[in-house]
Amino acid sequence: METTLNKRSHLMIPDHFRKIIVEAIVYLFVLLFVYAAGTKLVEFEKFREQLAQSPILADMASQLAWLIPVAEIMISILVLFPATRLLGLYGCFSMMVIFTAYIVSVITFSKQLPCACGGVIEALSWRGHLIFNMGFVVLALLGIYLLTMINQSKTVYNH
């Protein structure tokens, strides 16, 4: 019991606050991904053409134009349900890391590429995108951490 209490006490946030924070993170990701996917699907041809302009993505532009918004929607669905929420948060983290790595490559190798994000996010500079994405990477990690803590405390109290 002492080990369990020591593990729980290193972040002194009560479980109900952790749950509120996780819910807020989940809804931010759902808002981000559903908005982004919707914008990409509504402006599908523009999105596909922008992907095709990237030397890194050109060969896969047609497939990625469908895969990215579908993945964003699927991840949004996963995070909405408690049984799949942790998996969904790992999906959020993975997507944001991939997007961030792409942005780093754009900033490093070619500053003239159009943004394929769509909507209001498209107005950000590449550096603005990088900061925005890094913030969401941190949010995903925080969500994973807090949800893991919540799940561990449920396990402790149920045994």
Q: For residue 111, is it left (φ>0), alpha (ψ between -120 and 50) or beta? A: alpha
The total of structural domains in the chain comes to 1
- The answer to the question of residue 2 being in a domain is no
- The answer to the question of residue 20 being in a domain is no
- The answer to the question of residue 15 being in a domain is no
- The answer to the question of residue 141 being in a domain is yes
- The answer to the question of residue 103 being in a domain is yes
- The answer to the question of residue 66 being in a domain is yes
Q: Which amino acid is at 1?
A: M
At which residue do the structure tokens 């490093």 appear?
108
Structural domain containing residue 100: 26-158
- The answer to the question of residue 53 being in a domain is yes
Q: What is the pLDDT along the chain (159 residues), one digit of tens a residue?
A: 444 444 545 567 788 899 999 999 999 999 999 999 999 999 999 999 999 988 888 999 999 999 999 999 999 999 999 999 999 999 999 999 999 999 898 888 876 666 767 677 778 888 899 999 999 999 999 999 999 999 988 765 555
- The answer to the question of residue 52 being in a domain is yes
Vertex 45 angle, CA 35 and 117, to 5°: 35
